[in-house]
Amino acid sequence: MTQLRICFVGDSLTNGTGDRSFLGWPGRLCQAEVAAGHAITCYNLGIRAETTEMIRPRWHAECTPRLLDSFPGALVFSFGTNDTAEEAGQTRVAVDRSLENARAMIVEAMDWKPTLWIGPPPIDENQQPFQAGPGSPVRTFTNARIAALSNAFAVIAADLGVPYLDLFTPLAGDSAWQAAMGDGVHPPDDGYRLIAERIAEWDAWRRWFPT
């Protein structure tokens, strides 16, 4: 049995926005491992609309009181989609800055706790531009920008030696994912289940929770 406290750090796709069960993929992952006999505390630190520029200054302060050194702890990061969004004619975060932020976060995380990195999934371009609600900014997401950023993240991960899971490539060709795209950015229940299933089968995750 593994005993582990995990902070899941990221954006709305980490938070589980659009999931009627309010589990997202982190909740589903932890629920399944607890059912298998492991002891997990799940801290979901996903915040809607956040970019790497916004996550970078907050993540360590939020994780520190949750991951006390007296208990086994770990970190799972997932971000990037919001960086690529076009708003008012420009990308929210320039690619070079996204990569700088990502590298800085992952380096600091790896020096502290066991760390995993999950890449951003595809969006539905037929439902663009996207607006979260009345008065919210209008943003346009494209799969080309997300795919390029995910590939660049993978290069950094390989350089640092941190496990990185590319979600974009397998989900882009998955008809079940395309059918579960919800509002065009956030999948409802079935989409988060698909993400959780892919992470649960990932060797790096399974090393934390051997069967």
Sequence-distant (≥ 6) Cβ neighbours of residue 44 within 8 angstroms: 8, 14, 15, 16, 24, 26, 27
198 pLDDT above the threshold of 90: yes
Domain boundaries, the chain: 3-208
Q: What is the pLDDT of residues 56-111, one digit of tens each?
A: 999 999 999 999 999 999 999 999 999 999 999 999 999 999 999 999 999 999 99
- At residue 140 the predicted structure's pLDDT band, cuts being 50, 70 and 90, is very high
Q: Which residues contact 91 (CB under 8 A, 6 or more apart)?
A: 83, 84, 85, 145
CATH class of 3-208: alpha beta
